Structure 1
Amino acid sequence: MPIPRLASALVLTLALAGGPALAQAPADSPRNVAEPTGLWTGPMRGYTPTTLAGAKVIDAGELAKLAASENPLLLDFGPADRKPPSMAPDAPWMPAHRSIPGAIWMPGAGLGSADPAFARAFAERVAALAGGDLSRPVVTFCHPECWGSWNAGKRLVALGYRRVYWFPEGVEGWQAERDVATVKADPVWALAAPADQPQ
């Protein structure tokens, strides 16, 4: 039997026997990404799970219906733009962050930081935005294949929010058929976030 066939047969045998060969796809694969037990602390851009325990995963159509009927709190956890190093230091830098209309942009708030000050600042800001209502629908999003909104959704579930929605398609998924708006970073979050956390 040629080696490639032998290898394929071995993988198939292990898979059928419940062996580890196909138990989990590698980290650089979009297939079967497992939910971490805690917050994700690796790079923010990368393949994410298709689920978020305790939250509902929604697509753009479902988000549009929710936005039209229930006034959810829309939280954008997309990262702040960084001035390209190739630009001259004195060159004008005026990035424009596009988001879902009505969203609150909290750059850096989707980090998997274990810092208690970070967690406290996050909890307090979201509580203020939600009016202290744990039953208000809250939607987290950023960009496709971005862990920031997944982490934020996980934090919200742990904080007791009962209607957490994760929109993994992000701004790009929304703007495929709908308008976006230019938004500025939430000034209260910018002041409340610990100074050593990237915005």
Structure 2
Amino acid sequence: MIIFLITNIIYIPLGIALHVSQPYRVEGKPEHVPLQCLFSSELRPEEMQVSLYRGLHGQQRICSAYVNLSKPYFATDGPVQCRGNISSGRVDMIIFGLRGEDTDIYRCKVEVLYPPPYLRSVGNGTVVYIQENPNCPTAFMQSQSQISEKRSSVSDDVGPLPLLCAILIITSCIFMLQIMKIIWKWRDTGSMAPMASQKDSYRQF
């Protein structure tokens, strides 16, 4: 009982000494998702461990990095990569490798490793919404494709009809010209025959 009370008396102030807070919601793209974690501590940490967990209560660790504040930049390897910087009271990181289906709550865990005592705290979580790149065409492209499809369907339906019409018109014109030539020729020959008969009659007299 005495050990339990001593542990609680020591643990409570130390737990209050480090607090992590996060924004409620951020938006990002599959190429990069920005995330910020704020922390406050009564100490001035020199060595820290920064981890990112997925889910409100889950223990799926996305990335984790040990950081010496003399070199505050960090980068992790893996399917999901985290790159960031630790400045006074904040962790600014960019997450690479997330997709639209990875939209979820992500929690920051900050651990102060040095100087002692060891402190740790987990943030309340941030809803990370990842925008997918649309594969479907835009409305303009859809309208253009519909217009081209209609034009192709109309041309397919029409087929060789204009060519046939042109051939028929030309043939009809040629036929009419031939008929008119025959008529003119018949008129010429008909008008010449009576004149010749009249001349013959005059000669007989």
Larger radius of gyration: 2
Common fold, TM-score beyond 0.5? no
Normalising by structure 2, we get a TM-score of 0.26
Query: By percentage of residues, which structure has more helix?
Result: 2
Tell me which of the two structures has the higher relative contact order, counting C-alpha pairs closer than 8 angstroms and 6 or more residues apart. 1
